[in-house]
Structure 1
Amino acid sequence: MYLPTRHRQHDPQAMQDLIRAHALGMLVTHDGALPDADHLPFEYVPPGPDGAGLLRAHVARANPVWRRAGQQVLAVFRGPAAYVPPDQQEKLETGGRVVPTWDYHVVHVHGRLRAIEDPAWLLDFLHAQTRHHEAPQPQPWSVADAPPAYIDGMLRAIVGIEIAIERIEGKWKGAPPA
């Protein structure tokens, strides 16, 4: 990502907050011939004693992305964005030497992809994700609401993925868009 110094986000908490608020990330991998992108809801796990934070998600077993385990990958999280027309006053003051632009906030996370097929890990992950995303609902759904045999079948149909964060960079261009 082109990242002029004036747009670099230095606050790790601000970048973590953007990931949490805009959890649908774009995971960029390589299929051997071309780049590929999958749009996945991620969970951000803060750094532990080892110092590395994590991104976690799950994919359908039919999705080939999990077979790219070991690859260096990029996950992109886009926050608010807005078109910014030229300021009329500035246009008058500069003799028209103004252009429109875009204001946006974005976070890029780099790391190595790992696939997780452990059913206990997947079930714990699904419970945590469901609790998190269902919490604001008037009648939250729970994994326990579905028949156990159905959940067992679903667990066989998914694979967990995890990215140990090696580098994280944020670009805050312009004011926070509304």
Structure 2
Amino acid sequence: MSNTSADASLYVPRFNVMDPDDVRPFVAGVATAQLVTVGDDGLPDATFLPVLWEGDRLVGHLARANVHWRRIVDGSPALAIVTGPDAYVSPSWYATKAEHGKVVPTWNYSVVHLRGQVAVHDDPEWVRGLVTRLTERHESARDEPWAVSDAPPDYVDKNLRPIVGVSLLVESVEAKAKLSQNRSDEDRSGVASGLAADGRDPSALVAP
């Protein structure tokens, strides 16, 4: 899926377009992103951070000691890159190798680009709410989930001070899933077997 201008877009061949219904679950499953912004001096900054996609905003936090947040200009354009599993694909795995030998290596991967306006939230209550929701997201599947309220309030306050929040008002979404969709069923089966033999789970790396 794509709704950005061609000169700034993610290269997505027609057979590599991620199903629109899969995009939000993909971002939720990865739950991290590389936030890329450009400072007033024209130099780029990038930070890996935990994220949640809530409505029309991607939200996350970074360390106060990280100078990146101070270089962010509120309302300026930003890019968040969410990447899933990736793997080298050997041409020796293709069934067609034995037929005609016209095969070459490639790389399978999935990625989502979110673009929009970025804002910094140096607000303890905003950050507390975000950390609480992030914790609930990642603890919910546990038999005995930990909650922010399990820690002493003064200890939580102390650990929130070194954190600064950030949000991206999502204005465009591009999603790519390069999973051997353009290969035959036999070739995809060979890739799945090859990945499994290499100790990789093929389920997220090969189209069904």
Please report how far the alpha carbon of residue 33 of structure 1 lies from its aligned counterpart in structure 2 after TM superposition.
5.0
The letter of the residue matching 1:118 is: D
When the two structures are superposed, what TM-score results if normalisation uses the length of structure 2?
Answer: 0.74
> Quick check: which one's helix share is greater?
2
The 5 A counterparts of 1:1-178 are 1-11=10-20, 13-31=21-39, 32-46=41-55, 53-67=56-70, 68=72, 69-86=74-91, 87-94=93-100, 96-175=101-180, 176-177=204-205
Whole-Å separation in 1 of the counterparts to 2:29 and 2:154: 33
Please report how far the alpha carbon of residue 25 of structure 1 lies from its aligned counterpart in structure 2 after TM superposition.
0.9
C-alpha deviations, 1:100-156, integer Å up to 9, x for none? 111211111111111112222222222111111112234322211222122222233
1:17 partner SS: helix
Please report how far the alpha carbon of residue 88 of structure 1 lies from its aligned counterpart in structure 2 after TM superposition.
4.7
Moved more, 128-137 or 157-166: 128-137
Distance 1:88 1:77, change over 3 A: closer
The letter of the residue matching 2:67 is: P
> Quick check: which one's strand share is greater?
1
RMSD over aligned Cα, in angstroms? 1.9
Whole-Å separation in 1 of the counterparts to 2:176 and 2:205: 13
C-alpha deviations, 1:56-92, integer Å up to 9, x for none? 0111222222220333111111122222221453123
Whole-Å separation in 2 of the counterparts to 1:33 and 1:15: 31
> Tell me, which stretches of 5 or more residues in structure 1 are unaligned?
47-52
Is 1:66–1:114's contact at 8 Å kept on the other side of the alignment?
Answer: no
The letter of the residue matching 1:89 is: A
The count of corresponding residues between Structure 1 and Structure 2 is: 170
Is 1:56–1:161's contact at 8 Å kept on the other side of the alignment?
Answer: yes
Q: Which residue of 2 aligns with 1:49?
A: none
Whole-Å separation in 2 of the counterparts to 1:110 and 1:173: 20
When the two structures are superposed, what TM-score results if normalisation uses the length of structure 1?
Answer: 0.85
Aligned-pair identity (%): 39
